[in-house]
Chain A
Amino acid sequence: MRAGDALPPLEIEITRTLIVAGAIASRDHQDVHHDPEAARRKGSPDVFMNILTTNGLVGRYVTDHVGPTAVLRKVAIRLGAPNYPGDTMVLRGSVEAFDGETAVVRVTGDNGIGRHVSGTVTLTLPARTPEAGPR
C-alpha cells in the first residue's frame, strides 16, 4: 500500500431491505428509516439509509481491502445525498497517506442523485519487514 493507491470500487445495491435491516442492526428506530409514510410527512420521498449503516459500509469497504490484520483507528464521515431504495451507491477509496504503519484512506460513495458520503478512514497495519527501496 502506498499513497495515491486507489481501492477497487464497491457497488452497493440500496434495497429497502438493506435500509431497514441496517437500521435495526444499529438499533436506530427513527421512523424515517423504516416507515415510508412517516418519511414523506417529514419531507422525504421515501425511507433512507441511516448514518450508522453508511458508517458500517465505509468501514467494511476499507477493511475488505486491507485485510483482517488492520486495526481501524478512526472513521469520520459526512452525509450528503440520501440513499433511497432502488439506488446504487458506488464506494471509492484512495490512500491519502501511508507511513508504513498508519494509513489514511479517503472514501466517497456516490449514488444516482449525488454524493451520499465522503470521509476518511484511519487504520494501522501491523509492522512488517521493512520494504526494500528508498521509501
Chain B
Amino acid sequence: MGDDGDDLYARLKEYEGRPSTVAGAGRDPVNAPMIRHWCEVMGDTNPAYTGPDAIAPPTMLQAWIMAGLSPHTGRARPYEELLALLEEAGCTSIVATDCEQEYLRPLRPGDEVTYDSVIESVSPRKTTRLGTGYFVTTRTDVRVGPALVGTHRFRVLKYAPAARRPPEADRDRPPERRRPRPVVNRDNAGFWEGVRAHRLLLQRCADCAELRFPWLPGCAGCGGSGWDTVEACGEGTVFSYVVMHHPPFPAFDPPYAIGLVQLAEGVRMVSNVIGVPYDKVRIGMPVRLEFRRYDDELTLPVFRAVAG
C-alpha cells in the first residue's frame, strides 16, 4: 500500500504516456447538417458557419470525434484497462471538468478527421462534492489527412458518487426503521474503511498467505497474527442462499434473497443478492460486487446478479 493506502493510484499512474486512442476516425465527414444543428442549439448566427465557404464552428472540434451511441473505434487497450481499474474500484461515474482546444486551421464540410489520443496524466485520489475519484487527462491530436488541424486536451473525473440517493425503499425511513449499524472494532475497522472507499478488502495471513473472511485477529490455519489485505476483484458466484420471508423487521422488506457468495479469491461472504427477483436466485449464479448506499451513514457491499 502507498502512504495513504492508495495503491490504486500507483497502478493508474503507470498508464500515463500510453495511448488512449489509436487511429480513431470521425463517424462522419464534417458536414453542413451537423453544423446547422449545432448552431441552432447554441444560438450561434455567425455567418462564417453558413453558405458555400462555410467553416465549422471551431468549438465543434470534439463533436466530430464523439462515438455517440456506437461503440468506440480505435480505443486503445491501456485506456480500456485504466477505465476498468477505476470501475472496479467503484468509480463508476464520469464527469468532464476541463477542455482545452487549439485550432490550427478551420474544418470545412467534406473534411474527414482522424485522431490519436494519449493518457497525459492521472491525478491522485481526490474528494469532490460529487464523490471521490481520479482526474484523468487525455490529449487528442485531430488531423485531416496528414495535417494537424487541432488539439484537444480533456480532463474527466471518474468517481464513486457520494451523494447517491439511497434506494427508494430506504429513503426517508425514520431512524428506527433504518438498517442496523455494523459493529466496528479494532479487529474489523480496516474492512469498514475499505467499504467506505468502495473496496472489498480480504485479510491475508502474513505467515501462510491464507485469505480469511470475515476479519479476525489471527489465522485459523496457522495461528499467525500478522496480516495484510487483498482487494477482492468483485467477481463471485452464489454458493448458497436463503429467501427471507419471516419474521418481519422494520428495516427490511421481505421477501428478499440473502446469498452466501463464493468470491473469485476463494473466501465466502454473506450479503444481499440484488438485480434479480428473490425467487430467481440460484446456486452457481454469477454475481458481481457493488456498493449500495442505504442512508447517509451506511454503505454495504452487495452482489448483483450478472446476466448470462
**Chain A residues at the B interface, C-beta cutoff of 8 Å:** 18, 21-22, 24-30, 32, 40-44, 50-53, 55-60, 63-64, 68, 71-79
Whether B102 contacts A25 by the Cβ 8 Å rule is: no
> Is B209 interfacial (CB-CB < 8 Å)?
no
What's the least CB distance linking A8 to chain B, in Å? 15
6 contacts across the A-B interface (CB closer than 8 A): A32-B93, A44-B130, A74-B103, A75-B100, A75-B101, A76-B98
A58 to chain B, nearest CB (A): 7
Q: Residue B163 at the A interface, CB < 8 A?
A: yes
A76 and B99 contact, CB distance less than 8 A: yes
Encode contact with A along B60-75: 1 for CB under 8 Å, 0 otherwise. 1011001111000000
* Interface presence of B126 (CB below 8 A): no
Complex: how many Å from CA A76 to CA B94? 20
The answer to whether A25 and B59 touch across the interface, beta carbons within 8 angstroms, is: no
**B208-243 interface with A by 8 A CB criterion:** none
Give the size range of B's interface with the partner.
Answer: 35 or more
| A56 partner, pick from B44, B68, B165, beta carbons under 8 A | B44
- Judged by DSSP, the binding face of B is mixed
Return chain B residues, CB-CB under 8 Å to A30: 94
User: What's the least CB distance linking B115 to chain A, in Å?
Assistant: 14
CA distance A43 to B93 in the complex (A): 9
Chain B residues contacting A27 (CB-CB under 8 Å) are: 27, 63, 66-68
Taking CB as reference atom, which chain A residue is nearest B64?
Answer: A27
Quick one: which of B122-143 are within 8 Å of A by CB? 130-131
Q: How many A-B residue pairs have CB under 8 A?
A: 119
In angstroms, Cα B97 to Cα A68, docked, is 29
Interface residues of B (CB under 8 A from A): 27, 34, 37-38, 40-48, 57-60, 62-63, 66-69, 92-103, 106, 130-131, 161-165
Q: Which residues of B contact A42 (CB under 8 A)?
A: 92-93, 161, 164
A85 to B92, CA, bound (A): 24
In the complex, which of the residues A43, A71, A74 contacts B102, with contact meaning CB atoms closer than 8 Å?
Answer: A74
B159 to chain A, nearest CB (A): 9
Which residue of chain B has the shortest Cβ distance to A30 in the bound complex?
A: B94
A68 to B99 alpha-carbon distance, docked (Å) = 23
CA distance in complex: A32, B163 (Å): 15
Are A55's CB and B101's CB within 8 A?
Answer: yes
Contact B162 A56 (CB under 8 A): no
Known: A26-B38, A27-B68, A41-B165. A72 touches B103 (CB 8 A): yes
* Complex interface: chain B residues within 8 A of A40 (CB): 165
In the complex, how many angstroms separate the beta carbon of B117 from the nearest chain A beta carbon? 16
Q: Which of B38, B59, B164 contacts A41 (CB 8 A)?
A: B164
A76 pairs with B100, CB closer than 8 A:
yes
Whole-angstrom distance between the alpha carbons of A41 and B41 in the complex? 27
Report whether A59 and B58 are in contact in the complex, using a CB–CB cutoff of 8 Å. Answer: yes
**Closest residue on chain B to residue A40 by CB atoms:** B165
Contacts of B68 in A (CB 8 A): 27, 29
A60-B62 in contact (CB<8A): no
Min CB distance A103 to B, Å, is 15
Q: Which residues of A contact B40 (CB under 8 A)?
A: 21, 25
CB closest residue in chain A, given B159: A43
Give me 10 other A-B pairs in contact (C-beta within 8 A), A21-B40, A57-B42, A73-B102 excluded.
A18-B41, A26-B60, A63-B46, A64-B44, A64-B46, A75-B58, A75-B100, A76-B98, A78-B98, A79-B98
List the A side residues contacting B38 at CB < 8 Å.
25-26, 56
